[in-house]
Structure 1
Amino acid sequence: MTLTQLKPEVETIISNTNETVDNRLLSICQLLEQHVPYYNWVGFYFKNGDKDELKLGPYVGAPTDHTIIPFGKGICGQVAVSNKNFVVPDVTAQDNYIACSITVKAEIVIPIFVNGENIGQIDIDSNTPDPFTPEDERFLEFVCQKVSEIL
């Protein structure tokens, strides 16, 4: 399934009001991890109340110890501060990287905005070196925009 073909699937999940928000987010994680071969860990992080930190939300992939990430730390923490997409083709080239698994080679993080405020992000790890294209970025921006509608 191409990224374009996944868009209506994402919209169907988002519009299913019979499911909780967390269940819909988990379903999106599962959809992406199952249908994009180089998406090996897919999860959401959200601002943790009034604290300058992110808290792990629904995800699929290997368990992680990184359930809380301070703003500015790692790729996710940097996106929480910069409010910008962050594509990392090679995680070993990043000084401020939090390793979740030795198998991870690349990462992409896209912020989620609600009323202009960065309230969270989608985080994707890949075991493939440099797999993410501008098409991935646009697709994940679409996913985040759809997710923002239910938050």
Structure 2
Amino acid sequence: MTFQDLKPKIKSIISNDNLTVDERLLKICDTLERTIAYYNWVGFYFKNGDKNELKLGPYVGEPTDHTIIPFGKGICGQVALSNQNFVVPDVTAQDNYIACSITVKAEIVVPIFVKGENIGQIDIDSNTPDPFTADDERFLEFVCTQVASLLS
């Protein structure tokens, strides 16, 4: 299934008012993890109130100890400060990487903006070296825009 084919599925999940926000976010995670072979962990992190930290939201994949991530720490923490997408083709080449699993080879993190404020992000780990392309980035930006519409 292509990213174009997935867009209507994401929109359908977002517009499903019979599910809670968290249920919709979990369904997005599940859809992405099941549909895209190299997406091995898919989850959301959100700003934790007024604190300069991220709190783990809905996710699909191996359990993680990283339920709270300080701003600036790891890839997610860096995105919280930079407001920029961060694509890591090889996690072993990153000195500010927080290892969640020894099987993870690459990571992509894309921020979610509501009214111009970075309120969270989608985080995807892959067990495949260097799998992410510009198409992944554009698609995940689309997903984050859809999620932002749900949260605004």
TM-score with structure 1 length normalisation? Answer: 1.00
Amino acid at match of 2:89: P
* Structure 1 segments of 4+ aligned residues over 2 angstroms from their partners: none
Partner of 1:131: 131
Report the CA distance between 1:3 and its aligned residue. Answer: 1.1
Partner of 1:86: 86
Give per-residue Cα distances to partners, 1:86-128, cap 9 Å, x unaligned.
0000000000000000000000000000000000000000000
| Secondary structure class of the residue paired with 1:97 | coil
| Secondary structure class of the residue paired with 1:92 | helix
Q: Percent identity?
A: 80
Partner of 1:59: 59
Q: Is 2:149 aligned against 1:149? A: yes
Distance 1:38 1:55 in 2: 24
Distance 1:127 1:2 in 2: 20
TM-score with structure 2 length normalisation? Answer: 0.99
Report the CA distance between 1:5 and its aligned residue. Answer: 0.5
Amino acid at match of 1:70: P
Distance 1:122 1:4 in 2: 18
Q: Is 2:106 aligned against 1:106? A: yes
Amino acid at match of 1:141: E
Distance 1:130 1:47 in 2: 28
Amino acid at match of 1:72: G
| Secondary structure class of the residue paired with 2:95 | coil
